Structures are given as structure tokens and as C-alpha cells.
Structure 1
Amino acid sequence: MSSSSPPARPPVVRFGRMAPTVSVGDMPRALRFYTEVLGFQKVFENGLPVGFVILERDGAELHLSLLKTHKATVQNVAHLMVDDAAALFEHLSAHGVRIVKALRDADFGLRCFVFADPDGNRIDVGQDL
């Protein structure tokens, strides 16, 4: 694109839901965590052995994809908005889930914390204040 070109405009299209895909190294372990600890329901799976799963809970959707060589990073892979961050924080803590950043009321208007799933994937949780 040359400097004399007009700025690009986004298409006039309504966007729907957007669901993150999280890589996991052990699908059965990940499914146990997301269904038993977080309460998601599996609504789709593909492969034998299962290599891809869609999970849903309330308005949240998460896709899990098997990658046996998965290595977690220090970046958050998803942001989950909830109506009671403190209750989720306490629930996860009681179940031995690794808390990466403790619960706090941030100056940007969220009560928030970060936890890691069994594969080390970091999920940022927020509640509007």
C-alpha cells in the first residue's frame, strides 16, 4: 500500500462470537479440568483419538486443540469476563489451580486475576467494577 492510498476501511459486516483456540498437550487431562473444575460442557469433538473439542458455558466458548509438543508461554491465551471474580478465584484456589496473578481491583475498572490450566495456559479473568 502506497502512502498516497486512502486508509483501509473495515468491511460493513456484523461480527459474531469469537472463540479462542487453546493448545493442550494432554486432551483427557484438559477436558477433566475444563469440565469438572470450571463447569464447561463439551458440545463437539473430532478425531480418534480426540484432537479437537469445543466447550461452552453460559456465554463463553473455548476450543481445545491437541498439540503433544505444546509448551506454555507467559502470555494470556484468553480473557474471561465473569460476574463474580472473587468467587471464581476462591473456587480455583480451593481446587489447587495455579494462580499466576492474585485477585485485585485494577485501576482500569476490573476486579481481575490470572490462572493457569494444567498445560500452563494462562487465562485472564475479569469482572467489571
Structure 2
Amino acid sequence: MSNTDMSTVDPDSIGFGRIAATLPVQDMARALRFYCGTLGFTKIFENGDPVGFVILKRDGAELHLTLQKTHKPANFPVAHLMVQDANRLATLCEANGLRIVKGVRDKEYGLRAFVFEDTEGNRIDVGQPL
């Protein structure tokens, strides 16, 4: 299909499905201990030997982890997670020694929000509807 043909495609005809964040991790076992052990996600798929890719699910959230031995964390949030209780998640993160980058605050756009770094240094922006 040429570039001119693409302009005639109606995006409503595509039928989008789910989209999930993929987080790079240097240590898959450590990341799984956090996301599955601490946060209660369930591993629904894994690939590789050693495991280099997993899909995790909890409630309406889906998260993909990919093994990247040379991963250098970004200095900005790489995923946004909606929860029912931001205060409880912040407390859980702190109790597990995670860095809280921005503390829990009620925002003018209608969310109680905070940012934490997971065990791999990935920054996760958390929001709770007010």
C-alpha cells in the first residue's frame, strides 16, 4: 500500500484491541517477585529458556516484562497504572523499599497520584480517580 492509499483507510474500521506496557528488566526473577509476589499479579504466559518475556495480569491490568540485561531506566514514567487506592499502594511500595519519586497528591485533573520506581528502576505513574 502506498502512502497515498493509507490516507483513505478509515481508522474506525481497524478495530483496536488491548494495549499493554512492556517494561524492560535486568533481573526477571526479581521483577517477578515484586509484580507477582508483592503486587499479586499472575503470570499467564512466559517464553524462553531462560525466561526472557512474560505476560502478567491482575484485575483489569496487563503488564509485559522483557529481559534486557543492559537496561538503563528512563528518568520519566514509562507506564500509568490506575488503582482503587493509591495510598495503600504507596504504603506497600514504601514497605518494600521502593523509591517514591513523587509523593501521593490530589491533582486538579481529578486523580490522586504518585510515582514510584519498581525493582528495576522503571518509573510507574499511579492514579486513583477522586
Letter in 2 for 1:93: E
How many residue pairs are counted as aligned between the two chains? 126
- For the residues of structure 2 that align with 1:120 and 1:74, how far apart are their CA atoms? 9
Check if 1:98 corresponds to 2:96.
no
Deviation at 1:41, TM superposition (A): 0.7
- The secondary structure found in structure 2 opposite 1:88 is helix
Give 1:9 deviation, angstroms. 5.0
CA distance in 2, matches of 1:88, 1:95: 11
Alignment match, 1:110? 111
Equivalent residue for 1:77? 78
Instruction: Tell me what 2:122 maps to.
Output: 121
| RMSD, aligned α-carbons | 1.7
Unaligned runs of 5+ in 2: none
Residue 34, structure 1, aligned to residue 35, structure 2? yes
Higher mean Cα deviation, 32-41 or 9-18?
A: 9-18
- Residue aligned with 1:69, SS: coil
Worse overlay, 32-41 or 6-15: 6-15
Q: Does 1:63 align with 2:81?
A: no
Q: Distance in 2 between matches of 1:53 and 1:10?
A: 30
* Normalised TM-score (structure 1): 0.90
Taking a change above 3 Å as real, the CA distance of residues 51 and 85 of structure 1, as seen in their structure-2 partners, is same
Large movers: runs of 4+ above 4 Å: 6-9
Q: CA-to-partner distance for each residue in 1:16-44, whole Å, 9 max, x for gaps?
A: 21111110011111111111111111111
Counterparts of 1:41-60 in structure 2 under 5 Å?
41-60=42-61
TM-score, normalised by the number of residues in structure 2: 0.89
88-97 vs 47-56, which moves further: 88-97
User: Which residue of structure 2 aligns with residue 20 of structure 1?
Assistant: 21
Unaligned runs of 5+ residues in structure 1 are none
The Cα of 1:12 is off from its aligned counterpart by: 2.0
- Displacement of 1:65 after TM fit? 0.3
| Deviation, structure 1 residue 7 | 9.2
Of all paired residues, the percent bearing the same amino acid is 60
Q: Tell me, what secondary structure is at the counterpart of 2:33?
A: helix
Amino acid at match of 2:94: S
